[in-house]
Structures are given as structure tokens and as C-alpha cells.
Amino acid sequence: MSRVLIFLSVFIVLTACNQQKGTGPIKVGTIGELNKAFENAKAGDDIVMANGVWKDVEIVFYGEGTKEQPITLRAETAGEVTIEGASNMKLGGEYLVVKDLYFKNGYSPSKALIEFKINDTLIANNSRITNCVIDEFTQADRDVTDHWVGFWGRHNQLDHCYIAGKSNFGPTVRVFLKGNEHINNHHQIVNNHFGPRPRKGGPHGETLQIGDSYTSMTPSYTNVSNNLFERCNGEVEIISSKSNFNEFSHNVFFESEGSLVLRHGNYAKIDGNVFIGNDNSKFIGGIRVVNTGHWITNNYFYKIKGNEFRSALAVMNGVPKSPLNRYNQVTDVVVAHNTFIDCISPLQFSVGVNIDKKDVLPASEIRSERPERFVLANNLIYNQNKDNHPIKAYDKVDGVLFKNNILNSEDKSDVTAHGFITKDLQVDQISENLFVPNQNYEDVYHGFDFETITQDIFKSDRTKKNAIGAMVLPIKDNTVLMDKKLYGTDWFSNEAPEQNAETIKVASTDNFQDLLKRAKSGDILSLEPGTYKVNEALIIDKNITITSANVEQKAILQIATEVNAFELHPKGNLNIKNVVLIGDNTQKAFATLDKNMSKAYDLFVENSEISNFKTVLEVSKGSFADTISVVNTTIKNSLNGFLLNKETDSKGDYNAEFVLITNSTFDHVQNNVLNYYRGGYDESTIGGNLVLSNNTFTNSGKGSEILIENIGIVNVDISNNTFKNNPVKTIAVLWGEKGQKPVDNNIQNSGEIKIEQNLKQKLMY
Amino acid sequence: MSRVLIFLSVFIVLTACNQQKGTGPIKVGTIGELNKAFENAKAGDDIVMANGVWKDVEIVFYGEGTKEQPITLRAETAGEVTIEGASNMKLGGEYLVVKDLYFKNGYSPSKALIEFKINDTLIANNSRITNCVIDEFTQADRDVTDHWVGFWGRHNQLDHCYIAGKSNFGPTVRVFLKGNEHINNHHQIVNNHFGPRPRKGGPHGETLQIGDSYTSMTPSYTNVSNNLFERCNGEVEIISSKSNFNEFSHNVFFESEGSLVLRHGNYAKIDGNVFIGNDNSKFIGGIRVVNTGHWITNNYFYKIKGNEFRSALAVMNGVPKSPLNRYNQVTDVVVAHNTFIDCISPLQFSVGVNIDKKDVLPASEIRSERPERFVLANNLIYNQNKDNHPIKAYDKVDGVLFKNNILNSEDKSDVTAHGFITKDLQVDQISENLFVPNQNYEDVYHGFDFETITQDIFKSDRTKKNAIGAMVLPIKDNTVLMDKKLYGTDWFSNEAPEQNAETIKVASTDNFQDLLKRAKSGDILSLEPGTYKVNEALIIDKNITITSANVEQKAILQIATEVNAFELHPKGNLNIKNVVLIGDNTQKAFATLDKNMSKAYDLFVENSEISNFKTVLEVSKGSFADTISVVNTTIKNSLNGFLLNKETDSKGDYNAEFVLITNSTFDHVQNNVLNYYRGGYDESTIGGNLVLSNNTFTNSGKGSEILIENIGIVNVDISNNTFKNNPVKTIAVLWGEKGQKPVDNNIQNSGEIKIEQNLKQKLMY
């Protein structure tokens, strides 16, 4: 290179850098200064928010940056600017960048926390949110709906963010397509870490929703790549794709109780994703398929053990000429080159068929149309414990072409028409959760357009050497399924520091109330024998264990008249062991707040006695318990038992995910011992969960016709109980369609357990 | 250029030519030779069919050509190879070209005449039909469904063809999208001349259908450009677009009784088309809009005078969350830069609204959703006779943004919110039917993405100078709307040669039967006074006029017992004037064939007398009359009148388009004087048409409860008639919803004319 050329190059580079830098950082310390900075904003500006707490700020960031000179809004130090209180942010204009902010201890005063538009005419395009954290920025009232990131416009991006802990109604991230300004958007949702989203108890708890039922014809082209979805348990849909031409690639779904669902819209590409379940959960799903033209390739499913909606690959039946908001038939779908390791019946067809419910549902709800022109080829299934039914079919499978799939078990499904070949295949573990076959099976089927599958899950070339399954050998050294460096910010970790839980000894002469307040989350209050007078409600807003120091001499909590013993607050986690709770029939043993139950609580009772209460547990409408567990406990002489029946909107929501009552005794509970309700015909609500086993119920229910109400609860196990001398007509009504039936109960003079095959419910749509 | 370079260039050109030419023409004279040629076909082959008639041939053309070296099948001389009889053609493979063939005097023995596939696996791609004619290659039985050109695969083309005269069920050209092999097809339908398609009488008479209700989500990208649609009157949809991303540009729709309909599917582009109507027809339509995301720009509408479905721009109401086969809401549509000259209320919104029919229709049929996010801007409306209602709104217009539209009348529509500006605009006539404003109105509205409208209707640049309406001045010299050179083949003309109609004098001693047989279409048989014995049916398979030489002494046709007087065959056009027809109550005066009524017939009766027949007119189920006209005629002493009630499938079809009975007398007709039926709830059937006026009906109907049956006929005019002493309860039942009402009839001792507001009909869907 000549000296002139070198000089010129250096000059150009310097000039370019200079242009990009604008006039140096514009530092702002107040919302007033920030607004002024926005007013004067020009391309290249670098607006810096001073470290500290920014409380109750509604940021409206309008600016016209350029590709070369965006306008940036950032924290002085990444993570040191916290947006708190009633705060939100709207963006409008071109080429804006927001980075390094930390949203916590707050909630949005509007329907969204961050939106890529200011109003219907001031829309953001080519703009970006990066390296930010949104943590539990959830509404006080769980019933209030919002979303945290609302995409509008085109070419916007959310990347390298950590987002977790949304408990209220509404998808965490939404892409809107309402209007030509927002279609063909090519938004990028990449390299984020979606941390745990708690179980919500009903629908509207998606982590990501793209479009809605009105946009099932709309081209979106949203790209969702290289994200980690960690325990996104909000509802049965982790991602709900409701528009066309979206791409989901190289994401990791880690122990998330739901599926990537192609709910509305068509021609999605799902490539190279990883779905990781475990041995303990049947709730962790994979991909659920509705509609037309999807390509599902190179995905890796590990220990996905769910059924139907929660199976690794759930292919639904459709409604004939479906209304816009119901289920279109599945057609023209390709599922190729996927690997399933230790999944149970990973391929499930005609999920949701309900032809037998013609009598209780209108025609527009009957899913009778089977998948058509569906190609399932070159997939690999390996099970350490042989699984002879790789396929579960809920209807005839006559529209699926099975080609060159291999598995290591004998295929006893009678639907595959020789498209499954049993091989003596072996797998090697390469890294955590990653198992690969020890040889390439190269006899691949070449279907229409299969030449477009040019890479494997690890982006190795398939065009020279190809193999059945998600990967082509050899696998590069140090290959992992989940590289945590890829996801989230460069400054935040959601790995909680080690807790030093303490055991605090309490005597009956101590101020128990005060000690409880001062205890840290995780601490144990160990009560010396004696009687503890409780004159005001014990507030549980953290993880607290209350136990008796001496199991043989249980501490007695004597509750004052009309005082509720325990008041359960959001995130309260109460463990009671070996304690006696005594009321005088005027109070509740456990109660939630009446409102603002923003997050879930848990209640565990073990080896205890609860007696003489008006109500054992009473909850408020907006409250939600993740788990209520009662073990080895006696409950007696009370008016009401556990009342989890306040969510009566009948839109699929309910008040508790798990209710587990085992080895316990109920005696002289006058009304329902349990009332647990979920209303609304919603095929995609798959909770709650009730286990009632090895209990004894006596002399209870005389004030109601039925002992146990469990209307609409999907998973119910009533087994090995003894019901004796309960003056009721009915012990419980089970829901036949959901496979509920009583098992080995001993019933004496106590009415009967009935089964109703098809529950009549209020239609939600 | 150096000599070496020249040499090299010449060498390359020669080599290329050589490669393209293959081994010279392969001439074939029989189907056997043709099949052999196909068997051996290789890229570059030029297969030539010998001139002459190829009868009953089923051609299966498989070959693998290349882009540079296609395989061609052609006529020895364009137009001199006629494919006749029971013949069809299937194509499979790559880069095939079919040209110069003439399909006539025949019909397809299968569901299609030409198909771009041989079977589900042998599909044609990159193939082309060009310079061919398909003329009246219609099924013998009108009820049999087929199509003439079936597109499958991708990148196929139909160009420079003339296609006309399909009378039977089924769209003339169909594009199929059933399967991934056929989507994103980018088919080209260009430079064709779609000649007259006769009225069909009910649905399934489209000239072009792209997809179906199941493909409303499917990307098609079919391009329909530079075609002429001349009197394509098959049904209310000339083109039915039922898939996504189709383009319709620079086509001319000339006096075609229907519309370009965006029936299902979204994101169509309709640009630069011409719609030409006339002063006499309210049936000639423009564009009908359903669904989302269409751009309708630069179109020119001239004398489109229809209403509702047939208006220049008909924007429909949708069904809430519509089923797949009904009507989605219209959203996100842009209608910009169109010109409307001498159209009446060209912009009609919420067409099809039927909220008032909630009682007689299910919810899935109720079109209550108004257009939303609809932009109507920069359009120009000119009316020589002022039209103060450019807009007709059948529901509230609250989702439409009107911007910068201009018109030369005062806008008295109350829905446009100042988006229509009255200008004193003048137009100049440039060429036939082409009127342009005499100045540019440059105050254009810049809506979202409007910068993509870069050209006007004549492809002039809009980016430098822009104007409201379809064109930007100046207009180039010699600009025409319709350049006939662009459309159809280079060898065929549909302009009929001048007919030399003769008048043939007939005496009662002549062999009338024989003279009729020998007459040419168009001839007139002029009957001397006298009585003509008709001992076998007179067959009408051409255009024949039978008249009396002396109006004062009408010829008498005396029909033998059980002989029908006239047998109407396909394409028969019978004109009877000044004739007396007498039967003996055992025969029909007019009857169609019982089957194989492949094409429509017409019947005109004027100044005649018809008496003593069993039935005046009886038709068969598959028959269809375009027009039945009875003027100044007496009909008496017969059992039945006109029976047009055999098409009873109740799927929207019917037996006659126009029934016009005026200034006539019916006396002593024992049963119905007329029975004219159309069944099936089908909002898109807009026929038939009944005019009954200035007639006298006496002493008729005693054998039935009703004198005139007209169930389901959409357009009915019963006016200025006298009904006297007819022993019926009911004269007729009119359909209130369609605006039918009796006008100025004189009724004496004859029952009544009733009105039923909402006819209960069989649902078709």
C-alpha cells in the first residue's frame, strides 16, 4: 500500500470515528434534564443517565438517529442506574439505542413497560434495547394486564437482556402487527436470557407472543435466536407465534413448563433449538404445531416426558374451516433431522381431537381435521429405557409421510408405515445433556426442498456429508448445548448468592412477632414448648419455617379472637412443622392479602394440628399459590377447610397450581373440606393439580351437599382415602374426559364419588 | 473491437445457438409418434405436431429441459393443429414449452384440459403454454365441473393465449396451492386475451381462481398482468384471488359482468388496471375487497355503474373472527391514485353488511365488522353528470382515513371527514374511453409507504412530479387504454366475420323442417300465410328467426299430438315473431334437451299466440337460458306456463339469467304461469332477473296456490300488471331484503302479492 493510500485510509477511519462519537456524552441527573436532552437530541448523541435510583419516571425517548450515528441512552455504569417505582419508557423515531439499565422494584403505570412507539404516529424503527435487566417489575395486582417489552414498527431489537419474574397477566414480550407500519418487521430478539417466569395459573402468561389471532395472515418475519428460556413456567405456551414467517433458531428451552407453540400463522422456521426437560416433570414440553407450512429441523429434545399438549412434538387436529381464533388444520409441515433423547412418545398426532364432545361443544370447537401433507423424515430417537411407542396418535394418522426415521427401540406404533427403522444405535455423552450417536446414519430421505437444510444443529455443513438426526459427526470439541455466555447482559447474574439460613430459637415469653419480622428469608424459627398467644396476624413475606424445638412437645399457637393466624404476602413461603394451631372459630388459620397479591406464595404444613378455625385457608381473587402442601396433619372442628375458589371469572384462571393433601385427617369440618375451582372452557389450561391421598375424612361436610369441590381442575388424584360418616350426598365429582377416577378409597356412610364425562363449561371464545 | 474478439464473440453466439437448437425439429403425426418423442425427449428438443385434426388425444408431456434448452411441443403451423374431441394435456418436468395449438370442438375427459402436473409427484416447473387458443372446449353437460388450465408447481406461464367460451361449472383457469411444491409459485399469466365467458347462472364461473378458501394463508405470488378480460360474464367474480401476495397489473377488464375479487388471502397488489363499463349495464363491476393489506393503486374505472358487489370499489364488511371460508374483516388496505370517470357512487363501504339478518342466519354468516385502518387517498373522481355521492356506506364508516381525494361534484356523503375536495376539474378525451384531467393536482397525501408508488398507470415516473389520480401529465401521444396487439395469439382473431343473413321464404306446402335444417345461423324463415303441420320437433341449434310474411295473416304452426314444437339446443337462439302456435294439450311449445345442454340458449317471442299446450316452456336441470323474452304475446288454454325450476340443488344456480315478459296476456293457464327458481343462501349470486310488466293474467292458477313462483330470484320487477279472476290465494311472494315490491298492479279477485323480508334458505357453506 502506498503511503498516500495509508494516509487516506487513516483519515477516513478517523473521520468516521469522529462522526460516530457526536459531541461527547450528555450527562443527565433528573427526568427534566433527560427530557431536555431528548428535545435537543440529534444523530450521534450519547445521553448518559447518572448512576442512582430513578424513581417514578416515564421516559419518552424521541429522536432521529441514523444507521451510522444512532442516538444512545445509557447508564453511567451498566446496572447502576435503576428504574424503580411507577415507571415506563416509550421510544419513537429512528436508530435509538437504550442500554445498561436495570428495571426493578417497580411496575409500569401503563399497559407496557417499554414500548417501541410513543403513539400511533410516533413509532420507533431500527431501534434497540440492549444489556438491560427487567426483574420482577410486576404489577401489584396479578389481575392487571401488561407486557414488559412491546414491539411496534420495524427492525427493532431486544438483545443481551435478562428478563424474569413477571407474575401478572400478559405476555412478557409482545410483538404487535396491527397496521402496515408494523408488518414485515424483521425484529430481532436475540441473545437474551429469559429467566424464570413463575407459574401463573391460567392463560396469558406467555414469555413471548408474536401477533394475535387477528394477525394469523400477517407477515411478521420476527427472528428469535440464541436466547435462553430458563424455567419460563408462566403457562402452557412459552412462545406463542401468531403470525407468519417467524424464525426460532438456536434457542435453549431449559426446564420450561410449556412449549414453543405455533398457535396462529404459518411458515415458521424452527431450527437448531434445544429443549431440556428432566426426569421429574411431565410439564416441560417441546413444540406444538398448528397451521400450515412450518419447517421444524435440527432440534434436540432431551428428557421431554409430557403428553398431549406437553409432548416433545405435539401436532394438533384442527377445526374444519376454523374461525380465525380457533385451530386451523395442520398441513404442509416438514419435521426433519431432529433428535429425541430419552423422551417418552415424543411424536404425538391429532392432539386436541375432541370429536366425542360434539354434544357439549359448538361445531366451531370440534377439532376433527387431521394433519395433512405432513412429512416426518430423518429424525432420530434414542431411549436408554426402550420406548416402543415413539408415536402416540389420538386419531387416525393418514396424512403423514414417515421416511427414514431411526430409533433404537422396536416401533410398535401401527401408524408409521415402515417410516421408522429400528437400529442398534448407541449414543455418547459429549457434555451436559448432550448425547450424540456414535456413527452417522447417512441414508437420509431427500424430500421436496430438503436441500435447503444445509446445516446441522451446530451449523456444520450437511451438503457434503449428511446424517439422520440433528447432528452430523464429527462434533467439534467442547461442544455444549447451552453456552451461558451467549445469553443476557454482561453485568447481571441471576444465580442467587448462598444463603446463610439461621435457626432462631423462640420461647413463649419472647416477642414472637418481632423475631419473625427480623428474620431473614430462609430462617427457621424453632419454638420451645409452650403456648404462644398470637394477638395480631403473623405476616409471611419471605421464606420462613416455623417448627417446634421438641417434636414430642409441640408448641401451641393460640390465636386471638378474630385475628387471622398467618397472613400470606406475595413471595411468602411458609413452612409449618410440628406445631399446634388453635383458634376459637372466629378466624382464619391462613389468609392472603385481599389485594395486591402480586406474586405467588407457598404454604407447607407438616405434622401439625389445626383446629377451631372459621376457615383453614381463605384466599383472595387475585392471589395465587404455587404449592399448598399438607402432610401428616390433623384439621378439625372448623367451619370451612381450604377455600381456593375465588378466581371465578371462568376464563381459565385459578388460585393454586398444586394442592397436595396427604396422610392427613379432617374431622368435623362443617362445610367443604376443600373448594378448588377453575372455570372456563379452555383447552390450553392444563392445571391445576390436586392430590388427595391417604387421608381420613370424618364427620365433615354437613353444611354442604358435597365434601370436596374440584370443578374444572384438570389433574386430580383421589386415592386411598377413607371417608367415614360424612353427611353428604357426594364426596366429589370427577372429570371423566381428563382421565380422572377414584382409586382405592374406602367409603363408609359418606355419599359417593361421581364421574362426569364431559364437564359443561362456559365458552371463553 | 479487435478481430480476435470479434471472432470469439461470433464463435460464442454460434455455439450458443447451436446448443439451443438441439438436433432439429422432431415431427410427429400420430399420438404414438408423439409419445415416442416424449419418451426420448432431451433438453433442446423441438417436437412438432403435424398440421391437421388431432382427435381424442390425451397428451402426457414429460421432459427435463433446461433454462437455456427447453423442450418445445408445437404445431407445424400455428393454429393448424387442432386438438378436438375428448382430449387433454398434462405436463411434468422442467422447462417445457407448448405453443401454437388450437383446442376446439371438444372437451376434456378429465377434470382439466391442460394441467401443469401429470400426477402428485410429476409436476411441471418453469414451463409455458403460449400462443394457443382454447375455444368453447366446454363439457357437454353444463353441470360437469372442470377447468381448462390448471397451474401446479412453480414458475409456470400462460401467455399470449386466447381462451373463451367456457359454459360449464368451474373456473376457466385455476392456480392450485395444495402442497409446498406449489406455493411461492411466481406463475405468470400475462398477455392473454380472455374472450367472452357466457353468463353461467350461479357460482363457479370465474375466469381465474388463485387458490381456495383453504389457501387464504398461503403465499402464492402469482402475477396476472397485461391481459384483456373481454365480457367475462361467467359470474360475479371475474378473478377470485384466494391466496397471498398476488399481483394484478395493467389488465383491461372490458364490459365484464363481474369484479376482480380479493376473496381470500391478503396483500394483493392491484395496480394500473382498466375497468370499462358502459351506460347500459349495472352488472359490470370493478374491484371487490375482502381481507388485509391490499394496495390498490393507479387503476382507471370508466362507466362502472353497478351497486354493492358490482360497484367500482366494493369494500366488504367481515364476519367477526371469520371461519376460513367466509369473510375476514378488511384491514390495512390502501386505495390511492385511482381515477373514476363517469362511475356512479364508485366507492361503496360495508358492502354485504347483514346485521339485520341475525334471526335467519347463524353468527358465522353475519358480516358486522367494518373496514379498519383503511386509507383512501389521492383518488380522482370525475362525472360529466354530477354525482354528489361518491361514497355509498351501508354501515358506519369509522375505520377509513380519507385524504386528498378530489372530485368535480359537491360531496354530500357525510362520511369523508374533509378527505374529499371539490375541484372545478376538467377532463380531456385522449383516446377511446380515456379521459384525463387537464392539469396535475399535485397536492398529494404522503401516507405510510406511499413512496413505493413510483409510477402512474402508464408507467410514468411519480418520484419527480406527482399528481392525484391514476396519471401524471403529460400523457404520451397515442396513449390508449387497450392495445389489442398486447393480448392473445399472433394468429387468431375472435372478431366474427360479417354474416350474410338471408330471408328464406316458406310456404305451407314446403318442407319447413328441411328448410330450417339447411338455414345458416342468422337466417330468417319468413312464413307465408297458412297452416303448417309440425310432425316432429323443430330443432334450434343456431340463431333462427321465424316470422310471418304478412303480419296481418299470421302463419299457424299446428303441432302434432305429443310432439314438442321447438327443441332448443345449446347455442340455439330462437326468435319467433307474428306466429300462432297451436297444440292439443299434449305437448310442450318449447323444450330444451334433457341433457348435454352444454351452452346457453335464448328464446324471444314477440307478437305471437301460443295456445293449447301442456307446457309452454319446460327445461332440463342442466340447461341455461341467457334470455327468455316474451312481448306482446297471448298465452292461453294451457296446463303449465314457463317452467324454469329444474335446477334445485340449491347451491346458487338457476335455469335462466333474464326472464322478461311484457305486454302479454295469460288466460286459462291452469297451474303456475311462471315457475323460476334459485336456491341456496349465496350472497354472491346476484341473479336471476325477472321483469313482469304490463301483462294481463286472467282465469289462471287454479291448480296451484300461487300464480307466479319466483323463489330466490334476486332481481324481480312486477309492475303495471292486471290480475283478474285468478283463483289463487297468492299471486307471488317478493323478497323484501332485495328491495322487491309490487308496483302499480291492478288486482281483482286474484289473491295478493306478499312480501317476505328475509327469505329462509338452505345454507351452502
- Phi first, then psi: give them for residue B599, nearest 5 degrees: -130, 165
Distance from the A217 Cα atom to the nearest Cα atom in chain B, whole angstroms: 6
The Cα A322–Cα B217 span in angstroms is: 12
Q: Would an 8 Å CB–CB cutoff place B220 in contact with chain A?
A: no
The residue ranking higher by pLDDT, A170 or A682, is A170
Residue B208 to residues A396, B188, B228, Cα–Cα distance (Å): 36, 13, 12
Q: Where are the alpha helices (DSSP H) in A355-464?
A: none
Q: Is the pLDDT of residue B376 over 90?
A: yes
Distance from the A152 Cα atom to the nearest Cα atom in chain B, whole angstroms: 14
Q: Domains of chain B (ranges plus CATH)?
A: 281-493 (no CATH), 503-756 (2.160.20.10)
pLDDT of residue B741: 95
pLDDT of residue B18: 41
**CB-closest option in A181, A266, A291 to B448:** A181
- Chain A CB contacts of B180 under 8 Å are 293, 332, 334, 373, 448-449
pLDDT of residue A23: 66
- Chain B CB contacts of A373 under 8 Å are 178-180
Asked if B241 contacts B218 with a C-beta cutoff of 8 angstroms, the reply is: no
Question: For A560, what's the count of Cα atoms within 13 Å in the CB-facing half-sphere?
Answer: 7
Q: Would an 8 Å CB–CB cutoff place B178 in contact with chain A?
A: yes
Band of pLDDT at residue B764, cut at 50, 70 and 90: low
pLDDT of residue A12: 45
The Cα A392–Cα A340 span in angstroms is: 15
pLDDT digits (tens, 9 = 90+) for A109-146: 999 999 999 999 999 999 999 999 999 999 999 999 99
pLDDT digits (tens, 9 = 90+) for A62-86: 999 999 999 999 999 999 999 999 9
Taking residues B598-619, report their average pLDDT.
97
Q: What is the 3-state secondary structure (H, E, C) of A300-349?
A: EEECCCCCHHHCCEEEECECCCCECCCCCCCECCEEECCEEECCCCCEEE
- Phi first, then psi: give them for residue B7, nearest 5 degrees: -55, -45
Task: Please give the share of chain A, as a percent, with pLDDT higher than 90.
Answer: 88
Instruction: Work out whether strand B434-437 and strand B427-431 pair parallel, antiparallel, or are unpaired.
Output: antiparallel
**CB-closest option in B214, B292, B448 to A217:** B292
Surface of B (438-477) touching A: CB under 8 A = 448-449
- Find the angle CA(B642)-CA(B645)-CA(B648) to the nearest 5 degrees: 175
pLDDT of residue B765: 63
Band of pLDDT at residue B645, cut at 50, 70 and 90: very high
**Nearest-by-CA chain A residue for B295:** A180
Surface of B (253-312) touching A: CB under 8 A = 265-267, 291-293
Q: Where are the alpha helices (DSSP H) in A154-299?
A: none
The Cα B698–Cα B701 span in angstroms is: 9
Q: Is the pLDDT of residue A8 over 80?
A: no
Taking residues B363-382, report their average pLDDT.
96
How much is the ipTM here?
A: 0.90
B293 and A183 in contact by Cβ < 8 A?
A: yes
Summary mean pLDDT of chain A: 94
Radius of gyration of chain A (CA): 29
- Chain A CB contacts of B332 under 8 Å are 179-180, 183
Q: Is the pLDDT of residue B5 over 60?
A: no
The Cα A175–Cα A152 span in angstroms is: 6
Instruction: Choose among A425, A443, A435: nearest CA to A300.
Output: A435
Instruction: Choose among A611, A665, A615, A677: nearest CA to A640.
Output: A615
Q: Is the pLDDT of residue B20 over 50?
A: no
Query: Which of the residues B324, B327, B367 would you substitute to probe the A interface, choosing the one with the greatest number of A C-beta atoms within 10 Å?
Result: B324
The Cα B440–Cα B428 span in angstroms is: 13
pLDDT digits (tens, 9 = 90+) for A528-545: 999 999 999 999 999 999
Q: Is the pLDDT of residue B332 over 90?
A: yes
pLDDT of residue A1: 43
- Chain A CB contacts of B323 under 8 Å are 321-324, 364
The Cα B564–Cα B536 span in angstroms is: 7
- Chain A CB contacts of B266 under 8 Å are 217-218
Tallying the residues shown for chain A, one arrives at 765
Query: Which of the residues A297, A332, A372 would you substitute to probe the B interface, choosing the one with the greatest number of B C-beta atoms within 10 Å?
Result: A332
Q: Would an 8 Å CB–CB cutoff place B217 in contact with chain A?
A: yes
B180 and A325 in contact by Cβ < 8 A?
A: no
Band of pLDDT at residue B10, cut at 50, 70 and 90: very low
A218 and B449 in contact by Cβ < 8 A?
A: no
**Nearest-by-CA chain B residue for A243:** B217
Taking residues A247-264, report their average pLDDT.
98
B364 and A322 in contact by Cβ < 8 A?
A: no
Q: Would an 8 Å CB–CB cutoff place B530 in contact with chain A?
A: no
**Nearest-by-CA chain A residue for B373:** A179
Band of pLDDT at residue B680, cut at 50, 70 and 90: confident
Instruction: Choose among B99, B145, B96: nearest CA to B123.
Output: B96
Say which residue the cell 354442604 belongs to.
A704
Q: Is the pLDDT of residue B17 over 50?
A: no
B401 by DSSP, 3-state: which? strand
- Chain B CB contacts of A324 under 8 Å are 321-323, 328
pLDDT of residue B281: 93
Asked if B78 contacts B100 with a C-beta cutoff of 8 angstroms, the reply is: yes
Instruction: Choose among B91, B158, B156: nearest CA to B125.
Output: B156
- Chain A CB contacts of B183 under 8 Å are 293, 332
Asked if B216 contacts B702 with a C-beta cutoff of 8 angstroms, the reply is: no
A757 by DSSP, 3-state: which? coil
The mean-pLDDT minimum among A106-120, A660-674, B646-660 falls in B646-660
Q: Would an 8 Å CB–CB cutoff place B125 in contact with chain A?
A: no
Taking residues B610-618, report their average pLDDT.
98
Distance from the B263 Cα atom to the nearest Cα atom in chain A, whole angstroms: 14
Q: Would an 8 Å CB–CB cutoff place B510 in contact with chain A?
A: no
pLDDT of residue A745: 97
How many whole angstroms from its chain centre is CA B144?
A: 18
Q: Is the pLDDT of residue A15 over 50?
A: no
Summary mean pLDDT of chain B: 94
Instruction: Choose among A518, A517, A524, A514: nearest CA to A545.
Output: A524
Q: Is the pLDDT of residue A765 over 70?
A: no
- Spell out the residues 6+ positions from residue A419 whose beta carbon is closer than 8 angstroms to its own: A376, A377, A401, A402, A403, A404, A405
Query: Which of the residues A177, A216, A321, A328 would you substitute to probe the B interface, choosing the one with the greatest number of B C-beta atoms within 10 Å?
Result: A321
Taking residues A485-514, report their average pLDDT.
90
- Spell out the residues 6+ positions from residue B637 whose beta carbon is closer than 8 angstroms to its own: B585, B611, B612, B667, B668, B669
B180 and A219 in contact by Cβ < 8 A?
A: no
Query: Which of the residues B122, B176, B180, B263 would you substitute to probe the A interface, choosing the one with the greatest number of A C-beta atoms within 10 Å?
Result: B180
The Cα B62–Cα B696 span in angstroms is: 65
Band of pLDDT at residue A515, cut at 50, 70 and 90: very high
B180 and A266 in contact by Cβ < 8 A?
A: no
Amino acid in the structure at residue B234: G
pLDDT digits (tens, 9 = 90+) for B103-128: 999 999 999 999 999 999 999 999 99
- Chain A CB contacts of B290 under 8 Å are none
Q: Is the pLDDT of residue B498 over 60?
A: yes
Q: Is the pLDDT of residue A689 over 90?
A: yes
Query: Which of the residues B183, B321, B451 would you substitute to probe the A interface, choosing the one with the greatest number of A C-beta atoms within 10 Å?
Result: B321
pLDDT digits (tens, 9 = 90+) for B148-177: 999 999 999 999 999 999 999 999 999 999
pLDDT digits (tens, 9 = 90+) for B542-558: 999 999 999 999 999 99
- Chain A CB contacts of B213 under 8 Å are 321
Task: Give strand pairing partners of B135.
Answer: B164
- Chain B CB contacts of A217 under 8 Å are 216-217, 244, 265-266, 291-293, 328
Asked if B162 contacts B136 with a C-beta cutoff of 8 angstroms, the reply is: no
**Nearest-by-CA chain B residue for A765:** B321
